[in-house]
């Protein structure tokens, strides 16, 4: 029997590898005890980078939930979850889905860069053909307003607003952002999205380790293994309709979900870049659409640690789990 979270992953097209890579398929089957090779994957239609859906209407990108109920009916390999009760269809709890909280207000500018890099960045020079700089922390957004830059709510897609990236410790990083928007935000800050090669080098360090902190997986070092998928927790059901609500601003405001930058101090790569594994997926400059490193629910289904890569979506896609950091040429 296929677990609902795994079927949702496969149907969304966000699970890379198991359908084409026998070794990956075996790994998933061992991890879950499920048969996955007969499920068809179909990537959802991508969101545009200009039209902004209402909160909660982002294109689905389900990621694994390890605790979802396993006793569901299966019809033609697609799990049918029980219909939610009326209470599950309404927003509940302390989060106001219409509010736009600004948790980064008052943080001030990015700290000085290291080794001659721009503010908030560190240098990568060992073992590379050309030295470059990378943000030490996942980026947040600042909004241009009345000639000044103010903090943008990290729980809302910026739409066509004029925003720039900023990397600081202790900020809530920006989720809900497309690859196209991330690139524009980096450029507005005088930077650019990292290439895949740059991102991988920053994560793996000069020793080329699988995880930013070393060769072997260490539990809970990074924000990488939330027990329950936030959409299942928030909406109180595993029904299929929740996977079309992954732009809901309250998902990243749940307790024990998205962490502030630097909150996991041992989740650090050799040159000082933090949270490259877990917390948020991070867009790269791949024009076909790639985000890397996993996020706070999963850092293994699409590859372990630094090798985690999702390629099922084009650069117009966004949801609660997609974030970014910037790179720049070293001065």
Digit-by-digit pLDDT tens for the chain (331 residues) are: 444 445 445 434 465 643 333 333 333 322 322 222 222 233 333 333 333 334 444 433 433 333 332 222 222 222 333 333 323 333 445 799 999 999 999 999 999 999 999 999 999 999 999 999 999 999 999 999 988 999 999 999 999 999 999 999 999 999 999 999 999 999 999 999 999 999 999 999 999 999 999 999 999 999 999 999 999 999 999 999 999 999 999 999 999 999 999 999 999 999 999 999 999 999 999 999 999 999 999 999 999 999 999 999 999 999 999 999 999 999 9
Quick one: pLDDT at residue 14? 63
The helix/strand/coil state of 306 is helix
Distance between CA atoms of residues 300 and 278, nearest Å: 10
Distance between CA atoms of residues 125 and 128, nearest Å: 6
pTM check: above 0.75: yes
Tokens of 134: 């990378």
Q: What single string gives the DSSP state of each residue in 274-285?
A: B--SSSSEEE-S
Neighbours of 33 (CB within 10 A): 10
Quick one: pLDDT at residue 246? 98
Torsion from C-alpha of 230, 107, 198, 321, nearest 10 degrees: 10
In the chain, alpha helices (H): 4-12, 22-32, 179-188, 196-204, 230-235
Quick one: pLDDT at residue 94? 79
Cβ(285)–Cβ(192) below 8 Å: yes
Distance between CA atoms of residues 267 and 220, nearest Å: 9
Tokens of 264: 């996991």
User: Burial code of 151-166, b = ≥16 C-beta within 10 A, e = fewer?
Assistant: bbbbbbbbeeeebbbb
Quick one: pLDDT at residue 93? 54
The helix/strand/coil state of 305 is helix
Cβ(169)–Cβ(147) below 8 Å: no
Distance between CA atoms of residues 70 and 88, nearest Å: 19
Distance between CA atoms of residues 159 and 197, nearest Å: 28
């Amino acid at each position: 029997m296929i677990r609902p979270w795994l079927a949702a992953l496969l149907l969304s097209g966000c699970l890379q590898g198991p359908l084409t890579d026998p070794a990956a398929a075996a790994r998933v089957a061992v991890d879950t005890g499920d048969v996955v090779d007969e499920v068809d994957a179909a990537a959802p239609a991508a969101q545009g980078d200009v039209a902004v859906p209402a909160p909660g209407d982002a294109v689905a990108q389900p990621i694994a939930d390890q605790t979802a109920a396993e006793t569901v009916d299966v019809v033609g390999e697609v799990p049918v979850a029980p219909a939610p009760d009326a209470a599950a269809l309404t927003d509940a709890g302390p989060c106001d889905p219409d509010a736009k909280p600004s948790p980064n207000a008052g943080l001030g500018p990015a700290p000085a860069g290291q080794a001659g890099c721009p503010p908030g960045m560190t240098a990568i020079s060992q073992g590379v053909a050309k030295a470059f700089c990378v943000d030490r922390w996942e980026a947040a957004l600042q909004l241009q307003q009345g000639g000044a830059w103010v903090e943008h709510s990290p729980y809302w897609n910026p739409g066509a607003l004029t925003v720039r990236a900023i990397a600081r410790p202790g900020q809530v990083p920006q989720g809900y952002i497309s690859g196209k928007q991330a690139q524009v935000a980096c450029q507005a800050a005088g930077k650019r999205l990292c290439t895949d090669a740059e991102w991988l080098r920053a994560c793996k360090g000069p020793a080329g380790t699988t995880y930013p902190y070393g060769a072997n997986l260490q539990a809970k070092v990074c924000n990488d293994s939330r027990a329950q998928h936030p959409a299942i927790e928030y909406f109180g059901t595993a029904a299929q309709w929740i996977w079309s609500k992954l732009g809901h601003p309250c998902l990243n405001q749940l307790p024990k979900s998205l962490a502030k930058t630097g909150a996991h101090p041992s989740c650090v790569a050799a040159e000082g870049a933090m949270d490259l594994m877990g917390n948020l997926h991070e867009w790269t400059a791949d024009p076909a659409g790639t985000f890397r490193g996993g996020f706070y629910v999963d850092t293994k289904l699409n590859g372990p640690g630094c090798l985690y890569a999702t390629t099922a979506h084009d650069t117009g896609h966004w949801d609660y789990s997609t974030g970014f950091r910037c790179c720049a040429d070293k001065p």
